Amino acid sequence: MEVISSFPKSKHSLSLGYAPDTAKILSLPPLVMLEMRHERNPLSNDLFFHLLAVHKSLPLGKVHMTVHDFVETLLIISADSRARSLEICSDCSTIACWLNGFGIYKESQTNESFGQLEIRKISKKEKFMCFRYRRCLIKILDFEWEEGKKDALLFISKIAHIPQHK
């Protein structure tokens, strides 16, 4: 902390293989990237939204979110003037609930739109999905609709210009 505070105009990244106590995490200054991939308990919503507000890029471990929290996350990233990225891990049944909240189900196809959420690509064979929501690009890797499936990776990034499908 002292080193980071000594160079306030520098850009810093921090990669942690564990989750330190909450007070220490909250005391971190804004970072270009804060990586916390740990297998301990998922981050609380309060801590997650604090980190999302402060840091530009967040590769994280598990985060439990409701459909509302997921939409709020997309709105925060989309509205930010900075380039942003978020990587989280969640179980497939939770991600399926988020997608169902938008009206997306196992039978949904590429190029379908559900309000502001547009399916850019679905590959059941490769277990890959890509969506656009406002100014966010959302990629989900290793996802299966079946119950009991392990965790999937979710990447959300803010993009300045979203190319149209041809």
Distance CA 121, CA 126 (A): 11
Report which secondary-structure segment, H or E, holds 77.
Answer: helix 67-79
Q: Is residue 147 within 8 Å of residue 93, measured between CB atoms?
A: yes
Say if CB 56 and CB 30 are below 8 A apart: yes
Q: Is 106 a residue whose pLDDT tops 60?
A: yes
Give ∠ CA 70-134-101 in degrees, rounded to 5. Answer: 35
- Using CA atoms, how far apart are residues 18 and 10, in angstroms rounded to an integer? 24
What residues contact 128, with CB distance under 8 A and at least 6 apart?
Answer: 121, 122, 139, 140, 141, 143
Q: Provide the residue type at 72 as one letter.
A: E
20 confidence band (pLDDT: 50, 70, 90): confident
pLDDT tens per residue, range 27-69: 888 888 888 876 667 888 888 999 999 999 999 988 888 889 9
Q: Among 26, 77, 25, which Cα is nearest to 56's?
A: 77
What mean pLDDT is reported for the chain? 84
* pTM of model > 0.75: yes
